[in-house]
Structure 1
Amino acid sequence: MASLADVFKEKERSNWLKAWLAIDIAKSGLEHLADNEAQTFHQHIYSQVTSTLKSQSVTCTSCNTTNLLRNQKCPNQICDKVCQEIIKEHRYKKCSWNNTSVPLWKTHYWEIAKCYIQTDGYADKISIQDTDFNGVVSFMLNCTRFNSKFSFPITKGKPTLNKPACLLYKVRTPVPSYKGSVFSTKYLKYSISGVIRIHECKMM
């Protein structure tokens, strides 16, 4: 088994360790902003949806994503409207329904945030603390409510020469090294710079 000293002697292993630390630090820097916005967004949606109902405390546990995507109306006049609000704020209108549980929307704000994480595999993640770095960044990239939260425009679509990738897009996209490791020096640089630039966020 390699010792800690060996890790620092070998460049490849050292890069892996540095990248892991950079990602951990970057995630901790993004968590507060992303979690606050997820809560604010959740409150906004339910305030909008329940404003026309007799009681704003009405809940629903009978709906699921399959029914909603078939345009079936919520018996309590809630879930289908919440679904439309979620879609409306998605940058590409392609939500990740496999990551979320509709009956939990009312009580767990992170269930709504997970609709913006583009890859599956987050269904069992109940909070931002349980969600990995790529998941948090994906939420911020795909939810348009973050458009005004940074000092740079968020990338939409595939980056081009005229429209280069924003910082969030860069740190989410691993750059393979010559040995096939996703943690190259370039990826490490973007992760660290993400921590620095997060302080330029416009905390609304």
Structure 2
Amino acid sequence: MSYAIVGFGKIGQALARAFARKNIEVTVASRRPPEALAPQARAIGPEVVAKSLREALEADTIFLAMPFGEHREVARALPSWKGKTIIDATNAFGDEPDSFPSSAIVAKAFTGARLVKGFNHLIAAKLAADPVVEGVHRVVFLSGDDEDAIAAVAALAKQLGFAPVKLGKLNEGGALVHARGRTWGPLIFQDLFKKEQ
């Protein structure tokens, strides 16, 4: 399984730190050329490899960690997303979709992909920190319409040290972690921990 993070701002770098902490290779990319990202990627760890956007999109599982409005540009980079899992870590702050959850709009843009909303409810500093504190694991919420995709992302979250909590489908559980304008789901910014069995 190969992984990529598209967007290398605070959230993208926080996710990269989670991969580096567990010695799991991950590709990072943004609109900037890879050589502009390489110094920061190397500073995080040798597992974090800066590549072009086109190369990053070859990964099996791709985190969207850019501002919500930029997802369309990324979605246009491939004619089909069949066989790929997209983890939508975006929030639509100041970029209002209609009445739909932003994740439903992202899912529609990435034709053929299996989309899971996740890793979007924590601020970057919390996401970057070691998720295991005194034997308990920081929670990440996951929602989506494909059970197999949720299970795969939950397994990755556990591998990264988080405690995944499945919230159900995008139009149900996704609404709990949905943030746009002044409408915030009740789980946004909730920093919760769970003892793993």
Query: Normalising by structure 1, what TM-score?
Result: 0.27
Larger radius of gyration: 1
Which has the bigger relative contact order, CA under 8 A and spacing at least 6? 1
The structure whose residues are more often helix, as a share, is 1
Query: Normalising by structure 2, what TM-score?
Result: 0.27
